[in-house]
Structure formats: C-alpha cells, structure tokens
Amino acid sequence: MYACAENMKASRGRACRTQGGYILLEALVSLAVLSIGIFTIQGAMREAIIVRGMTRDYVEVRFLLEEMVAKLQIQPRLMEGASGGGAFPGELSRYRYTWSVTRVDIPLPPLPANATPEMRERYENFELPVKYLGKISVEVSWERSGEPHAEIMETLFSHKKLIMLSEEEEGSVPQP
C-alpha cells in the first residue's frame, strides 16, 4: 500500500490501477481452481458412497449364499432336479434367491499318449468307485441403482445323499 501511494504521486495513480486488475484476475483464477477441487472431492465422495454400498451388498449376499447352501446341505437326502426360489424375509427382501440340485458325472482322466498296451488295457477295464456326485447351486440376485447384480455359489456333496429320479421311480433309493 505504501509503495502504491509513493508510485501514485510519481505517476499520477496509473501504477495502482494496473496492480488492482491483476488482483482481480488472480482472485478469479483461484476461485476457478477452488471450484474444480471442490467438484473433484464431491465426485470422489459420491463414488466412495456407491462403492461402500456395493461392498455391503456383496458381504450380505455372501452370508445369504452360505446360509442357503448350509440349509440344503443339512438335508438327509436331496432329489436330483429339485429346485426352488423366493425372497429373503424382512430387511433383506430386496434379495431374491434360486437353488437347484443336479448330478455331476465324474469322467475318467484322459489316457496319456505314451501309454503302454498294459496301461491301455487297465484303463479300459477300470471303473470308478463313485461315478457321480450331487451339486447344489444357489444364486442370489438384487438391484442397486437400477443395475441388476447376481452371485452364484456351488458345492458338491456325496452321491449317497443324492436321490436319482430313475432310482426313485424304480423304488431303489441308495442307502447312506
């Protein structure tokens, strides 16, 4: 301010008016930078809220999947082709589930190309002690912000628990 007063006397006020224009320009540039920074921070906070919500959904879904698989696994017998679905109760009603029980055949591993004739003969006469397993599949689906999401969990279980449709029709249910 003192320098401006001394310069004003010497040059009749022109120096102070010129410096005042630069201060206005600096203020406008700093406001622009500040507003860009604020918008960036706001966008990052919005993304953090969305990611937090999605993380919560996936954690809840993981527990729901494990609960459904556990409920099916504790059944003494499961029928091949059985399926069901619905919605979870209460606060979790936005999550829907479907489940199914299927048979999974166990294939023989491929015979190596350099197998001897003796190995080939044993391979052709070999029978697996267990030819199939049961498989439980559970899918939980939900929506967040209008976008559909789904997660699937599958597990295998003993062939002794699986009731085959053809065996049930014949009346020969495998014993555990």
In a 13 Å sphere around the CA of 4, the CA atoms on its Cβ side amount to 9
The answer, yes or no, to whether residue 125 has pLDDT greater than 80, is yes
Domain borders along the chain are: 2-170
Q: What is the pLDDT of residues 3-44, one digit of tens each?
A: 555 555 555 555 555 555 688 888 899 999 999 999 999 999
Confidence of residue 175 (pLDDT cuts 50, 70, 90): very low
CA dihedral sign, ordered 73, 77, 79, 83: negative
Q: What are the beta bridge partners of residue 148? A: 143
Residue 166: its pLDDT value, please?
Answer: 62
What percent of the chain is modeled with pLDDT above 70?
81
pTM exceeding 0.75: no
* Angle (nearest 5°) at CA 94 between 88 and 99: 50
- Report DSSP letters for 11-44, one per residue: HTTHHHHHHHHHHHHHHHHHHHHHHHHHHHHHHH
Tokens of 66: 């494990």
